[in-house]
């Protein structure tokens, strides 16, 4: 029997604008779902176009939280004609969706890093403010509520983000310090930090390097006074390493790489076992078993990429917003195995010989020539992030079909998948 939360998610349907939909992708996903209802088959779907073979990941594209956010946002616009409508920051990390909302008159109050674009002082109680899927901090909620704007009315916070907040609160009640594995400047991490820090001492670690550095304050290898510079801007007020690292639990930004979060949690568990001479029976005295707080879509998409990478191929293409955390981790997995191109639309594939793609390590778009090898057939792995519309994925498939002059074959795919 499905857990109540998953049963609810399975049943709920969202009204997502048709411009984000793809008949081809819907047909592919429905066919795979019917054949694999328990989601145990992570092999890709082969789209054989002759000279180009496209292997599509088992899971990709819009997740529950994104569809929920888009549904609420577009419904909010329809229900409030004539009113000023603001988004606290980007709805999701996808330029097409955010651009569509802006074209409909929605304004952003902040950029993705929290920089103020529209002063809160200019808002009135008659304005509408939509909370994005990442959630927001308690401080911002307080400011908006003080103006008379009800933050709960148009709140699109993903339920899986709220699940992390609830887990943090649970372990806080047992007097554990919360360690958040997340990107310190990401909206979701800032929100999760805020919700945890109101209840218990909290600190953010970005990666295993941070975790190792923090562990040295647990073991006493580093001077406690150095902590405040080492983790500047990432710990809650009044954090004391001599007191607040005695009992810990790890939660995460829901879109982090699952293996990284698990590795960090396992590392801290070992540190506590060694430091306090714990056994399996006494580990809970010092380390909270938070299990995995990644969202289901992040897990599914990452597992699907592992399945995708078992197929020998020439290149991988990952589609999504350049500031999308979950998408960048899919790129990270792919580029360990084969040449990988991170694009946010099919238009970035300029020609069969040239592609404009994003290097998320250097935060720059770069041009690569001869990105498609001169062979027959060319084998391409394809996936997208949880905030990427299926229509963009179909656009990439169509562009590749045009490059190889097999558009007529592309037109028969929908019939094949039906």
Active site residue 411: no
Class of residue 99 by CB neighbours under 10 A (exposed 0-12, middle 13-18, buried 19+)? exposed
Sign of CA dihedral 42, 43, 48, 50: positive
DSSP per residue, 289-310: -------HHHHHHHHHHHHHTT
First to last CA, the chain: 29
Catalytic residue among 67, 90, 141, 188: 188
Cite the DSSP H helix spans in 19-109. Answer: 23-35, 64-79, 95-103
- The whole-angstrom separation of Cα 1 and Cα 16 is 28
- Local structure of residue 312 (DSSP, 8 states): -
- The whole-angstrom separation of Cα 418 and Cα 416 is 6
Rounded to the nearest 5 percent, the helix, strand and coil shares of the chain are 45, 15, 40
- The whole-angstrom separation of Cα 284 and Cα 306 is 33
User: Closest Cα to residue 310, out of 39, 33, 44, 32?
Assistant: 44
Maximum alpha-carbon separation in the chain: 68
- The whole-angstrom separation of Cα 385 and Cα 261 is 19
- The whole-angstrom separation of Cα 373 and Cα 33 is 33
CA-CA distances (angstroms) from residue 78 to 127, 131, 246? Answer: 14, 17, 51
Contact 255, 329 (CB under 8 A): yes
User: Closest Cα to residue 349, out of 328, 311, 318, 390?
Assistant: 318
- The whole-angstrom separation of Cα 327 and Cα 323 is 8
Active-site positions read 188
């Amino acid at each position: 029997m499905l857990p109540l939360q998953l049963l609810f998610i399975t049943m709920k349907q969202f009204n997502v604008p048709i411009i984000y939909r793809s008949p081809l992708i819907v047909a592919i996903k429905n066919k795979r779902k019917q054949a694999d209802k328990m989601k145990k088959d992570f092999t890709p779907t082969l789209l054989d176009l002759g000279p180009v073979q496209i292997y599509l990941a088992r899971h990709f594209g819009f997740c529950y939280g994104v569809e929920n956010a888009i549904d609420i946002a577009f419904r909010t616009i329809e229900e409030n004609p004539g009113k000023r409508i603001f988004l606290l920051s980007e709805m999701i990390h996808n330029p097409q969706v955010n651009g569509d909302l802006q074209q409909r008159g929605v304004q952003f109050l902040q950029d993705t890093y929290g920089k103020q674009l529209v002063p809160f002082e200019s808002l009135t109680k008659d304005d509408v403010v939509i909370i994005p899927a990442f959630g927001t901090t308690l401080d911002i909620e307080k400011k908006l509520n003080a103006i008379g704007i009800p933050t709960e009315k148009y709140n699109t916070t993903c339920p899986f983000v709220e699940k992390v907040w609830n887990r943090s609160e649970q372990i806080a009640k047992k007097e554990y310090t919360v360690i958040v594995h997340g990107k310190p400047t990401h909206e979701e991490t800032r929100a999760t930090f805020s919700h945890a820090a109101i209840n218990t001492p909290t600190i953010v670690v970005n990666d295993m390097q941070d975790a190792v550095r923090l562990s040295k304050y647990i073991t006493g290898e580093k001077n406690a006074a150095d902590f405040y510079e080492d983790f500047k801007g990432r710990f809650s007020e009044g954090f004391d390493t001599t007191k607040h690292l005695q009992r810990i639990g790890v939660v995460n930004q829901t879109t982090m790489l699952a293996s990284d979060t698990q590795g960090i949690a396992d590392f801290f568990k070992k540190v506590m076992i060694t430091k306090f001479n714990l056994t399996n029976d006494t580990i809970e005295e010092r380390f909270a078993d938070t299990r995995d707080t990644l969202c289901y879509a992040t897990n599914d998409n990452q597992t699907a990429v592992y399945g995708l990478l078992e197929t020998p191929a020439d290149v991988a293409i990952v589609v999504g917003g350049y500031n999308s955390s979950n998408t960048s981790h899919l790129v990270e997995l792919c580029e360990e195995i084969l040449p990988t191109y991170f694009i946010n639309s099919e238009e970035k594939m300029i020609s069969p010989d040239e592609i404009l793609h994003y290097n998320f390590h250097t935060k720059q778009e770069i041009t690569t020539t001869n990105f498609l090898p001169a062979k027959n057939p060319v084998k391409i792995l394809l996936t997208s992030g949880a905030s990427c519309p299926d229509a963009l994925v179909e656009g990439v498939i169509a562009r590749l079909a045009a490059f190889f002059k097999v558009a007529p074959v592309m037109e028969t795919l929908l019939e094949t998948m039906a």
